[in-house]
Amino acid sequence: MTYTAEIIGVGTEILLGSICNTDAQDVSQTLSALGINVYFHTVVGDNPERLRQAVEIARSRADIIITTGGLGPTCDDLTKQTLAEVFGKPLVFHEEEAERIRSYFRDRLNNMEMTDNNLQQAFLPEGCVVLENTCGTAPGCAFEAEGKHVIMLPGPPRECRAMLKTGAIPYLSALSDSQLYTHNIHVFGMGESSVEARLRDLMMEMSNPTLAPYAKDGEVLLRLTAKAHSKEEAEAMMAPALEKVRAILGDAIYGIDTDSLEHTVLQLLREQKKTVAVAESCTGGLLSKRLTDLAGSSAVFLGGITSYATQSKTTVLGVPEDVLKNNPVASRPVAEAMAKRAREVFGAHFGIGITGVAGPDADEDGTEPGTVFIALSTGEALYCREPLHFTDRARVRDFAASTALDMLRRYLTGRPV
């Protein structure tokens, strides 16, 4: 059977707009992956009467109710008490859970004094499955009553995500004999509509596995999902589709089940024992920052120079004066000279140079915002690309940094840059 679910977020701070309801997104993604249909999200404040009302409505229209937030001592365990009441479950004291809370204060919070209301958290609905909180004190729980399944998760996103993984997924998976398995296919250099147009026929004829595209920070993420009884069966079902997608999108696919473009590039550099250095102008350190977001990048990323003031391109980076005199600052020759100098100055195998106008205004030379030149110096050859025009400063910078990473990715995998 296909279950339907409703997610109820509990917290006045969401209704005030102080925080965004990211828990609902995390839970929704998890339920989608499990093949459970989510028909409604509801958010309600720290108010027992309105929470009760929301739960009554959810009970009338969903098989599974998942709550986030409203657990823990500061909110008087609002969610647990209300749900227990609505479903007629008495709260009973779990000695085991009480001991876990005591030891959390002793070991993880360095013997911080534990006030009595913390032990309230050890009262849980009779007969429930206790979901352990690996990142905080408030335990979650799950139970079945009146043919409905109820799961309560903590509100802090880190705790919620952890408990989804360790508690909610195992509980929900047991409700069905088949599970969902997913591959994430990462695409750069092709817009969402272009990807969709190329894959439309394939997507239309598929039912299990399914294929769905998502636009994300100038990239496209394709999610391939199979419903199967085992991982092996799922992989066998997905293999032909994966091959078709590869054939259609070719080298615009930069990775499968990878983290990011920078992750892919760093891994390729590590495998090939090569190093890179960068010289940035309009991206102002963003490429360098992205290459160091990940731990362990120091083995292959040597460093960078942000030559933001035009003069510093000569005085600090060492771009020949005549190159700057004879060309606009945002030009191919300047980008190429910057890439070459980055490589030389740091003694790296590869150098990347980025110069352009991030906007919102044109620069002194009259170059329009969104014009960016990106060069890759490999010691043997120089490659230069000018990416598409955008007008939003943040997007221009992001897309320029991504394009630089993609050029290096293509070079390292023997593809045309």
Per CB under 8 A, which of residues 178..217 are in contact with a second copy? 214
Tell me the three-class secondary structure of 70-115, residue by residue.
CCCHHHCCHHHHHHHHHCCCCEEECHHHHHHHHHHHHHHCCCCCCC
Is 286 within 8 Å of 304 (Cβ atoms)? no
Residue ranges in 277-336 that form contacts with a second copy under rule CB under 8 A: 278, 280, 282-289, 291-293, 295, 297-298, 301-309, 312, 315-316
Q: How far is the CB of 122 from a second copy (least distance, A)?
A: 25
Compare residues 239 and 309 and give the one whose CB is closer to a second copy: 309
Q: How far is the CB of 171 from a second copy (least distance, A)?
A: 18
Q: Which residues are within 8 A (CB) of 200 and not within 5 positions of it... i.e. 6 or more apart?
A: none
Query: Which of 230, 394, 413, 415 lies at the binding interface for a second copy (CB under 8 A)?
Result: 394
Q: How far is the CB of 98 from a second copy (least distance, A)?
A: 25
Q: Respond yes or no on whether the N-terminal peptide bond of residue 209 is cis (omega within 30° of 0).
A: yes
Sheet holding 179-187, edge to edge: 210-216, 219-228, 179-187, 253-256
Residue ranges in 213-242 that form contacts with a second copy under rule CB under 8 A: 214
What is the size of the binding site for a second copy (CB under 8 A)? 71
Q: How far is the CB of 104 from a second copy (least distance, A)?
A: 17
Distance from the Cα of residue 41 to its chain's centroid? 21
Query: Which amino acid makes up residue 76?
Result: D
Q: How far is the CB of 286 from a second copy (least distance, A)?
A: 5
Is 210 in a helix, a strand, or coil? Answer: strand
Query: Which of 10, 14, 224, 408 lies at the binding interface for a second copy (CB under 8 A)?
Result: 14
Considering only the stretches 67-75, 94-102, 353-361, 378-386, report the one whose residues sit in contact with a second copy under the rule CB under 8 A.
353-361
Distances (CA, A) of 264 to 226, 270, 415: 25, 10, 15
Compare residues 208 and 292 and give the one whose CB is closer to a second copy: 292
Distances (CA, A) of 162 to 131, 135, 214, 269: 10, 7, 24, 32
Q: How far is the CB of 71 from a second copy (least distance, A)?
A: 19
Compare residues 93 and 214 and give the one whose CB is closer to a second copy: 214
Spell out the long-range contacts of 356-360 with Cβ–Cβ below 8 A and sequence spacing 24 or more: 356/281, 356/282, 356/330, 356/396, 356/400, 357/282, 357/330, 357/396, 358/282, 358/283, 358/284, 358/393, 358/396, 358/397, 359/391, 359/392, 359/393, 359/396, 360/391, 360/393
The mark string for 359-388 relative to a second copy (x by CB under 8 A, - otherwise) is xxx---------------------------
Compare residues 145 and 191 and give the one whose CB is closer to a second copy: 191
Compare residues 4 and 176 and give the one whose CB is closer to a second copy: 4
H-state helical runs in 117-205: 157-163, 169-173, 192-205
**DSSP class of 206:** -
Residue ranges in 57-96 that form contacts with a second copy under rule CB under 8 A: 57, 61
Query: Which of 15, 169, 190, 417 lies at the binding interface for a second copy (CB under 8 A)?
Result: 15
Q: How far is the CB of 386 from a second copy (least distance, A)?
A: 20
Compare residues 241 and 278 and give the one whose CB is closer to a second copy: 278
* CA 244/CA 139 separation, integer angstroms: 45
Beta bridge partners of 223: 184, 212
Spell out the long-range contacts of 21-24 with Cβ–Cβ below 8 A and sequence spacing 24 or more: 22/157, 23/68, 23/69, 23/153, 23/155, 23/157, 23/160, 24/68
Compare residues 73 and 303 and give the one whose CB is closer to a second copy: 303
The mark string for 16-55 relative to a second copy (x by CB under 8 A, - otherwise) is xxxxxxx-xxxxxxxxx-----xxxxxxxx-x--x--xx-
Compare residues 264 and 275 and give the one whose CB is closer to a second copy: 275
Compare residues 127 and 360 and give the one whose CB is closer to a second copy: 360
* CA 66/CA 150 separation, integer angstroms: 6
Query: Which of 238, 358, 382, 412 lies at the binding interface for a second copy (CB under 8 A)?
Result: 358
Considering only the stretches 92-100, 108-116, 176-184, 344-352, report the one whose residues sit in contact with a second copy under the rule CB under 8 A.
344-352
Compare residues 216 and 231 and give the one whose CB is closer to a second copy: 216
